[in-house]
Every structure is written in C-alpha cells, then in structure tokens.
Amino acid sequence: MDEPGPPHTIWLDRNHSETTETKKRAGQMDFLRPASWEEALAAKAEHPTAVPIAGGTDVMVEINFDHRRPEYLLDLNRVGDLYEWEVGEETVRLGASVPYTRIMEHLRPELPGLALASHTVASPQIRNRGGVGGNLGTASPAGDAHPALLAAGARVEVESVRGSRLIPIDDFYTGVKRNALAPDELIRAVHIDRADGPQQYSKVGTRNAMVIAVCAFGLALHPATRTVRTGIGSAAPTPVRAKAAEEFLNAALDEGGFWDNGRIITPSVAKQFAELCSAACNPIDDVRGTASYRRHAVGVMARRTLMWTWESYRGDAARTEGVA
C-alpha cells in the first residue's frame, strides 16, 4: 500500500520565483492607480503595455470574457482633470473621461452633433461611465462619437512623458481598432470646434438603446467658412469623412449662392451628395448588416441630415437676417 504522502506539496515548487511569465499564466495583473495626470504618464512610460481603463465599458467586457489579460490595468478614475471641460471662444476642450451623460446635459449648444451622438450610446448606465477618450482609444469603426468628431472638426490632445501633441482627427484613425497613439501616450482631451451652424447625427440600428451602429452619419454646416463636413461610422475599416461629397456640396452651395439666398437645396444636388457619401464607404458584410445595405443607408442618412441641417440654417438665417 502507498504511504499517505503529504498532500499537495509534491506539486508545488516552492523555490520557483514569480516571473512575469508565471504571473501571466496565473492570470495575474497589476492594478496601477495613479493619483494625478503626471503619475499616469509616468506609469504608462514605465509600462507601455498597460491598458488604460476609465469607464471600463470596453475593457471590462474583454476581461470578463477572458478575451484579454493585460499585465497592467492603468486606472484613470482618480485623474480629476480628465472629467473636466472648458468652453473657449472657438473650441471646447473636452476631458477624455467626461461621461456622455455630461456632454448631453451640458454641451448641447456648443457641440450639438456630439451631444446627439452621445445620446445614442448604449444606455444610461453606460453613458454615465463612458466618454470620448475611450471611444478614441478603442478606435472601433463603430464608435458612436467618431462621425460627430469628424464632422465638427477636432484635435486629439495626447501626451507622454516626452511631451504633448495635438493629432488632427483626420489623422487619428489608422486602421480597424488602431489609432495614431504611441505606446507611451495617453489621451488627455479632445479639442472640438464650437458649432458655428446646425449639426446632425443619424445612426441605424435595430432598436433605440443598446445598439452597436449598423452605420452612422454625422453632418455639420460651417457657415463661417461656408463649408460642410461629414463623418461616416461603421461603413469602412475606420471612421471616415466623405471628402468628395463635401467638395461637391461646397462648390454647389457656393455656385448657387445658397449660403446667402438661403434657398432650399435642389433635389439633384442632395441626391448627388448622397451618392457621393455612399461611394465614400468601404463596408463589409457582417452580422449587423450587409455592405450594400450600409452603402444605401449612409446615402439616405446623408440626404436626411443635409435636409435637417439646411432647414435649420434657413430658419436661423430667416430669423436673424430676414433671408428666406
């Protein structure tokens, strides 16, 4: 008969040191809790693989489902500056962690497109936690804020211990869930141009709440520069602008004197604008929708948001200048 040996001890190597590898195998993680922005930058410099977590609405899903086991979680909840915003003369500096709920409540006059987009994010519980910094960090083509940021015109303020820089939103998205951040950089704020005209946002989904966009569209009129800007979500590997459509519309509005006479936009102009927006898409077929449906829906949203914003512009112009 076997002698009853001491349980367990034979399997435990007491001399084995806890290397990073064994920590990883055991699913161990370090939770870094910087108390200030400077501490956060220092932590990110020391551990470039650290995953920043603020609202946690993306990161925690991946951890809960064991899709991701980062070695370090970098908690940004203690960095108070990230929850603040400043309204300047021409731009709003929006802290990366300002929750969508706050944007909807406090920044609708300055950032109407982003406020509308914020309202389409998931549910109240998610909007209370998530912010634009997380949308940018994740850089999913389906992130709800992106079309509004592209249409309004924005710059992403990123920083590392090496210094700070502003990345134009057009250069920020570099691929599917990829952005222009260096490994040691963190997103601090977004500088968004204050609305100088009507803005709209439209999103296609199967229901009103808790929906990832099948596709989304943002449009901003900029009467100050007599330009129109667009943003398309979920219809290309990255969020994109429909630049050819913008150029066409800018020229058509200019030629017809529309900005001055405030006339209704000709249906043929709206139709061509919509077609060019569809053409700017490079969508895929997936569980949420087919590529051809996305292209079609983006065209419909482009035409509708143009009509809505233009009606609003004409109304404003009629009130303030007597044009109609």
Q: Does 126 bind another protein (CB under 8 A)?
A: yes
Please pick, from the candidates 49, 128, 261, 292, the single residue that binds another protein as defined by CB under 8 A: 128
Supply the Cα-derived Rg of the chain in whole angstroms.
24
- 209 vs 318, which CB is nearer to another protein? 209
Least distance to another protein, CB of residue 251, Å: 41
SS3 of 224-282: the string is CCCEEEEEEECCCCCCECCHHHHHHHHHHHHHCCHHHHCCCCCHHHHHHHHHHHHHCCC
Q: Is 125 in the site for another protein (CB under 8 A)?
A: yes
Residue with smaller CB distance to another protein, 42 or 212 = 212
Interacting residues of 238 by C-beta distance below 8 A, sequence separation 6+: 139, 141, 173, 174, 175, 176, 178
Q: Is the Cβ of residue 213 or residue 317 nearer to another protein in the bound state?
A: 213
Q: Does 36 bind another protein (CB under 8 A)?
A: no
Under rule CB under 8 A, which residues in 48-107 are in contact with another protein? 53, 55-57, 59-61, 63-65, 69, 73, 75, 77
Which of 48, 88, 109, 124 touches another protein (CB under 8 A)? 124
Instruction: Compute how many residues bind another protein; rule: CB under 8 A.
Output: 30
x/- string (CB under 8 A) for another protein, residues 4-33?
-----------------------xxxxx-x
Q: CB–CB of 140/62 below 8 Å?
A: no
From candidates 35, 166, 210, 324, binder to another protein by CB under 8 A: 210
- Please choose, from the candidates 308, 245, 303, the residue with its C-alpha nearest in 3D space to the C-alpha of residue 279: 245
- Rounded to a whole number of angstroms, the minimum distance from the CB of residue 105 to another protein is 11
Q: Considering only CA atoms, which of 186, 173, 191, 178 is closest in space to residue 95? A: 191
Q: With respect to another protein, which residue has the nearer C-beta, 134 or 231?
A: 134
39 forms part of the interface with another protein (CB under 8 A) = no
Nearer to another protein, 134 or 233 (CB): 134
Which amino acid is it at 20? T
Q: What are the structure tokens assigned to 301, written together?
A: 């949203």
Nearer to another protein, 53 or 136 (CB): 53
Nearer to another protein, 123 or 164 (CB): 123
Question: By CB under 8 A, is residue 129 in contact with another protein?
Answer: yes
Query: Which residues contact another protein (rule: CB under 8 A)?
Result: 27-31, 33, 53, 55-57, 59-61, 63-65, 69, 73, 75, 77, 122-126, 128-129, 208-210
